[in-house]
Amino acid sequence: MSKRLVALDLLRGLAVAGMILVVSPGSWSMVYAPLKHADWHGWTPGDLVFPTFLTCVGMAIGLMVPRLTPADRTGPALWLKVARRTALLILLGLVLNALPTLDLATLRIPGILQRIALCYALATTICVWIAGRGEGGRLDFNLPAAGLASAALLAIYWALIAFVPVPGFGVGRLDAEGSLPAYVDRVVFTVPHLWNQGVTYDPEGLLSTLPASVNVLLGAIAARLATEGRKGWVLALGVGLIVAGLALDPVMPINKRIWTPSFALLSSGIATVVFVGLEMAVRAQRGGYLLIVLGGNAILAFILSQLLGVFGGLPILPGTEATPQGFVYALMLKAIVDPYLASLACAVLVLGLITAILIPLHRRGIHLRL
């Protein structure tokens, strides 16, 4: 395994670890601010977890494209594989959303895995079809075209949310009720099928898949630059994206909930810079085994965290209010006086449990691949 691949696994593992810490507190009312999501405009470190994972998805695509041939591009095998992976991710996401009640009337249709599936399918299609013919009969990843495709998707999304009127609200609204992405979610999915009852939008909504796919495309670009030995360009790309995202903030506020173009650029840039830092750690032969374990089985780690979150919030005994999550938090409070630190300790415990489950699987080369 190349050092570059190790750095990618480290980045993926870091994203998974961050996700577990964000979604597994002992008490949702006792969470440190950096682990929360921004209420609307603005951003926190917790907001960067999911886009970092999408960047990793893109890096994997950037590594995959040069292994393909022109025949793969026009043949059915590749596209059947893409369709199968997309469908399985969507199906798995719906199953997890259905737990624990299996109530189809309020089943959340969008979701994290659903977004990964759609972004993966769109970005893969773009990267494969814009690729040129390289040496040895393989496809050649087209860096300029991928950059143009990223800019085009952001421009299209920006134009849609800035100029398409929303019935009853007008144009250019960026709030939870009047923004175009929120309106599309309500029309396509209806409110009972969004992420939380009573809300008017979904943070993994349909229209915002366009800018989220840019995170994937930019990850693919970073991977190609890295494998071509242009590490300085990778760092320059990351810094440039951060600057661009911050510069756009006054015009198009950074917002994860509707994934504004400024958020797509900023989050991609930060993930890319962190990737460069991990590259340096790999060259210095620093540790990172546990992150590699998490990164190598990211989907399974996500599933386990979701299952623990769902069933940890259910009553221990029917008719009672005591839950496993509350019980563990109460135990932590006996050892740790600070309720915020005790809540974080519960999340660390969940992270340790999931990692302990994955270590023997990793040692045996067992990884869940969809």
Percent of the chain with pLDDT over 70: 97
Measured CA to CA, the distance from residue 127 to residue 8 in angstroms comes to 19
Angle 355-361-362 from CA coordinates, rounded to 5°: 80
Model confidence pLDDT, tens digit, residues 208-229: 999 999 999 999 999 999 988 7
Measured CA to CA, the distance from residue 308 to residue 100 in angstroms comes to 11
SS3 category, 255:
strand
Model confidence pLDDT, tens digit, residues 130-176: 999 888 889 999 999 999 999 999 999 999 999 999 999 999 999 99
Q: Which of 225, 316, 324, 322 is CA-nearest to residue 275?
A: 225
pTM above 0.95, yes or no: no
Cα-based torsion angle of the residue sequence 19, 22, 25, 27 in order, rounded to the nearest 10 degrees = -150
Model confidence pLDDT, tens digit, residues 348-370: 999 999 999 999 999 998 888 87
| Structure tokens belonging to residue 157 | 């999304």
Neighbours of 344 (CB within 10 A): 21
Model confidence pLDDT, tens digit, residues 267-313: 999 999 999 999 888 766 656 889 999 998 999 999 999 999 998 98
Tokens 């995959």: give the residue: 64
Model confidence pLDDT, tens digit, residues 179-219: 999 999 999 999 999 988 778 899 999 999 999 999 999 99
The gap between the terminal CA atoms of the chain, to the nearest Å, is: 21
CA 297 to chain centre: 15
Q: What is the DSSP string of 175-213?
A: STTTSHHHHHHHHHT-GGGSSSTT-S--TT-STTHHHHH
Exposure letters 122-143 (e unless 16+ CB within 10 A, then b): bbbebbbebbeebeeebbebbb
Q: Which of 52, 43, 41 is CA-nearest to residue 10?
A: 52
Round the CA-based radius of gyration of the chain to a whole number and report it. Answer: 21
Q: How much is the pLDDT for 134?
A: 80
